[in-house]
C-alpha cells in the first residue's frame, strides 16, 4: 500500500544530508516537510557505525546549521590537545535525535516517517521530492565484502571487531581508506602487536593533516593559501601533493610510495605514527578471495594464519558519481557545492531552496561539485568547488547566511575579522587563488571558466 504524504516537501533520507537540508529549509521558509527514512531513527549511516568511530573532522563542521554539534570546545589533553573536539558515534546519534525532536518536530511543520521505504509513499500533487540517496554512503555493516569467502574462513565487518570473543593470532585489515586506518589504530590502541596485523592496502592514500582543517580562520585560510601557492608551481598532480606534504597539509603512511588515492579524509599525526608501526603491508591489488590460511589477490597470493580474522573495511564510503544539477524537474538532489563537506552543501541547498526563486537561478548559484578519488580528481574538486563558492558568494543574502554558520569552513566570525593572522592568511589566499585555480584546472584537465 502506498501512502500519500500531505506536505510541501518529501525528503527521502534522514541522514546527515537530509537533516541539514530540512533544518535550513524550515528555518527560512514557512513550509511543511515529510522526512522519510527506512531506518528506525535519524542519523543515516551513523546508526550502523562501528563502536570506536569518531568524526574525522572537527564537530563544528558537521550536523545542521541551526544547532552546533558539541560545544565548540578545544581538546585539553590527549594526543590531539589544542585541536577542536570530534564527536563519537553515540554523541552523533544523540545529536540527531535531539535535532529531530527539539528542533524539527517542534516546529509542527515537520513529520518523521521511520521504517519507511520511499517506494511506500507518494508526495501529494505539487510537492517537491528531495532525494538524498544519490550519494548515500556504502559502509561495511550494510555492504557485503567485495571478495569471495571460502567456507571456514573468518571474515567480519569492522563493526564486529570490538565484539570478538577472543584474540586471533593475526588480524587482516582489508582496505585503504579511513575505515581501515580506524581499525588499525583501534587494534594498536588495544595493545595488539603491530606484527600481528596484516594490512591489505590495494592503493596508497593521501590524507589531510587534521591540524590544518580546524574551525580557526587563520589556520584554515592559511591552509587554503598554501594550497593555491603550491598549485601555482606544480608540474603534475603528484608534484602538488608532494609539495602539500612538505607544507604539512597532506600526509601519507609510507613516504617511499607515491599514493594514487586522494579521497583525503583527515588524519592526526599521532595516528600516522601508529600506522607506520605496521610493517606487514600487502600491495598486490584488491583482495579477490579469502581461504583459511590464504589470501588470493589481483596480482598474487599471501599466506596468513589459519585462525586469522579478516576485517572487512572495503566498502566504498561516499560514492563518486557524476555531479548533477541539484534542482531538476523530478527531484532536488543535494550534493557538495563547495569542495567536499556534504553537510554544508546540503544546508546551503536548503537555504537557497527557501529563499531563491526559480530552479535555473538556484543551479546557477549552487553548481554541484564532485568527490575525489585520485590526485587529478582532487584538483578538479578544488576548481569546481572554488567556482561554486564564487557563484553563491555573489548573492549578498547567501553570503551573509554562509558567514554565520559553523558548517562553513571558510567563514570568519566577526570577532576575528580584524585579527592580524586572519588578515595575513586572507591576503595570501587572495593573491594566490587566481593563478592557483587556473593551474589546478590545467592539472585536472578541465576547461577554464569564461570570465
Q: Can you tell me the mean pLDDT for 226-233?
A: 98
Q: How far is CA 146 from the centre of its chain?
A: 21
Which CATH number goes with the domain that contains 196? 3.50.50.60
Pick the last residue of a domain from 254, 286, 317: 317
The pLDDT mean for the chain works out to: 95
Question: pLDDT class for 118, splitting at 50, 70, 90?
Answer: confident
Q: Can you tell me the mean pLDDT for 391-418?
A: 94
Please determine, for residue 165, whether its predicted confidence score (pLDDT) is greater than 90: no
Whether residue 131 is found in the same domain as residue 177: no
The boundaries of the domain holding residue 10 are 3-135+320-371
Which grid cell sits at 451? 570570465
SS (H, E, C) 20-43: HHHHHHHHHCCCCEEEECCCCCCC
Q: How far is CA 179 from the centre of its chain?
A: 12
Question: In whole angstroms, what is the distance from residue 299 CA to residue 22 CA?
Answer: 47
Please determine, for residue 327, whether its predicted confidence score (pLDDT) is greater than 80: yes
Does 155 reside within a domain?
yes
Whether residue 130 is found in the same domain as residue 142: no
Helix (H) or strand (E) holding 68: none
Question: In whole angstroms, what is the distance from residue 282 CA to residue 155 CA?
Answer: 17
Whether residue 90 is found in the same domain as residue 189: no
Does 403 reside within a domain?
no
Does 414 reside within a domain?
no
Does 37 reside within a domain?
yes
Does 351 reside within a domain?
yes
- The structure's pTM equals 0.95
Whether residue 290 is found in the same domain as residue 158: yes
Q: Can you tell me the mean pLDDT for 341-346?
A: 94
pLDDT tens string 131-158: 999 998 888 888 999 999 999 999 999 9
Whether residue 157 is found in the same domain as residue 303: yes
Whether residue 313 is found in the same domain as residue 337: no
Whether residue 177 is found in the same domain as residue 299: yes
**Tally of structural domains, the chain:** 2
Whether residue 99 is found in the same domain as residue 151: no
Contact 246, 204 (CB under 8 A): no
Greatest pairwise CA separation for the chain in angstroms = 65
CA distances from 427 to 95, 158, 222 (A): 37, 45, 10
Which CATH number goes with the domain that contains 50? 3.50.50
Please determine, for residue 450, whether its predicted confidence score (pLDDT) is greater than 50: no
Does 256 reside within a domain?
no
Whether residue 155 is found in the same domain as residue 274: yes
Does 437 reside within a domain?
no
pLDDT tens string 61-113: 999 999 999 999 999 999 999 999 999 999 999 999 999 999 999 999 999 99
Whether residue 329 is found in the same domain as residue 359: yes
Pick the last residue of a domain from 285, 300, 317: 317
Q: Could you tell me which of 364, 368, 373, 374 has the C-alpha nearest to residue 339?
A: 368
3-state SS class at 193 = coil
Please determine, for residue 332, whether its predicted confidence score (pLDDT) is greater than 70: yes
3-state SS class at 177 = coil
Does 379 reside within a domain?
no
Please determine, for residue 346, whether its predicted confidence score (pLDDT) is greater than 70: yes
Whether residue 58 is found in the same domain as residue 164: no
Whether residue 55 is found in the same domain as residue 113: yes
What is 363-428 written as a DSSP string? HHHS------SSHHHHHHHHHHHHHHHHHHHTSHHHHHHHTT-TT-TT---GGGTT-HHHHHHHHH
Amino acid at each position: 500500500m502506498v501512502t500519500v504524504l500531505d506536505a510541501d516537501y518529501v525528503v527521502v533520507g534522514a541522514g546527515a544530508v537530509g537533516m541539514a537540508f530540512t533544518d535550513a529549509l524550515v528555518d527560512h521558509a514557512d513550509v511543511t516537510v515529510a522526512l522519510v527514512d527506512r531506518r528506525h531513527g535519524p542519523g543515516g549511516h551513523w546508526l550502523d557505525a562501528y563502536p570506536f568511530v569518531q568524526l574525522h573532522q572537527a564537530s563544528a563542521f558537521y550536523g545542521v546549521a541551526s544547532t552546533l554539534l558539541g560545544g565548540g570546545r578545544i581538546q585539553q589533553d590527549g594526543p590531539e590537545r589544542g585541536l577542536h573536539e570530534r564527536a563519537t558515534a553515540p554523541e552523533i546519534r544523540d545529536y540527531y535525535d535531539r535535532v529531530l525532536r527539539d528542533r524539527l518536530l517542534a516546529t509542527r511543520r515537520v513529520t518523521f516517517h521511520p521504517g519507511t521505504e520511499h517506494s511506500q509513499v507518494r508526495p501529494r500533487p505539487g510537492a517537491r521530492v528531495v532525494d538524498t540517496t544519490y550519494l548515500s554512503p556504502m559502509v561495511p555493516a550494510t555492504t557485503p565484502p567485495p571478495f569471495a569467502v571460502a567456507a571456514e574462513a573468518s571474515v567480519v565487518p569492522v563493526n564486529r571487531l570490538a565484539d570478538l570473543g577472543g584474540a586471533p593470532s593475526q588480524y587482516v585489515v582489508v582496505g585503504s581508506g579511513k575505515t581501515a586506518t580506524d581499525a588499525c589504530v583501534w587494534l594498536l590502541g588495544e595493545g595488539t602487536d603491530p606484527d600481528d596485523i596484516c594490512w591489505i592496502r590495494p592503493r596508497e592514500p593521501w590524507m589531510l593533516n587534521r591540524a590544518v582543517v580546524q574551525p580557526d580562520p587563520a589556520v584554515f585560510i592559511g591552509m587554503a593559501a598554501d594550497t593555491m601557492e603550491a598549485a601555482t608551481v606544480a608540474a603534475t598532480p603528484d608534484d602538488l601533493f608532494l609539495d602539500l606534504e612538505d607544507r604539512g597539509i597532506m600526509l601519507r603512511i609510507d613516504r617511499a610510495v607515491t599514493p594514487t588515492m586522494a579521497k583525503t579524509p583527515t588524519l592526526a599525526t599521532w595516528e600516522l605514527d601508529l600506522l607506520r608501526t605496521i610493517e606487514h603491508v600487502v600491495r598486490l591489488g584488491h583482495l579477490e578471495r579469502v581461504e583459511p590460511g590464504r589470501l588470493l589477490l589481483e596480482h598474487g597470493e599471501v599466506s596468513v594464519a589459519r585462525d586469522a580474522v579478516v576485517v572487512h573495511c572495503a566498502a566504498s564510503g561516499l560514492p563518486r558519481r557524476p555531479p548533477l544539477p541539484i534542482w531538476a524537474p523530478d527531484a532536488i538532489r543535494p550534493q557538495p557545492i563547495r569542495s567536499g563537506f556534504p553537510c554544508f552543501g546540503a544546508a546551503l541547498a536548503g537555504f537557497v531552496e527557501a529563499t531563491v526563486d526559480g530552479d535555473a537561478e538556484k543551479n546557477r548559484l549552487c553548481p554541484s561539485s564532485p568527490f575525489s578519488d585520485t590526485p587529478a580528481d582532487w584538483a578538479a574538486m578544488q576548481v569546481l568547488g572554488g567556482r561554486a563558492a564564487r557563484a553563491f558568494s555573489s548573492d549578498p543574502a547567501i553570503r551573509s547566511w554562509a558567514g554565520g554558520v559553523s558548517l562553513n569552513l571558510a567563514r570568519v566570525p566577526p570577532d576575528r575579522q580584524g585579527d592580524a593572522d586572519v588578515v595575513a592568511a586572507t591576503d595570501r589566499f587572495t593573491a594566490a587563488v587566481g593563478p592557483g585555480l587556473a593551474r589546478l584546472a590545467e592539472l585536472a584537465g578541465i576547461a577554464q571558466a569564461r570570465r
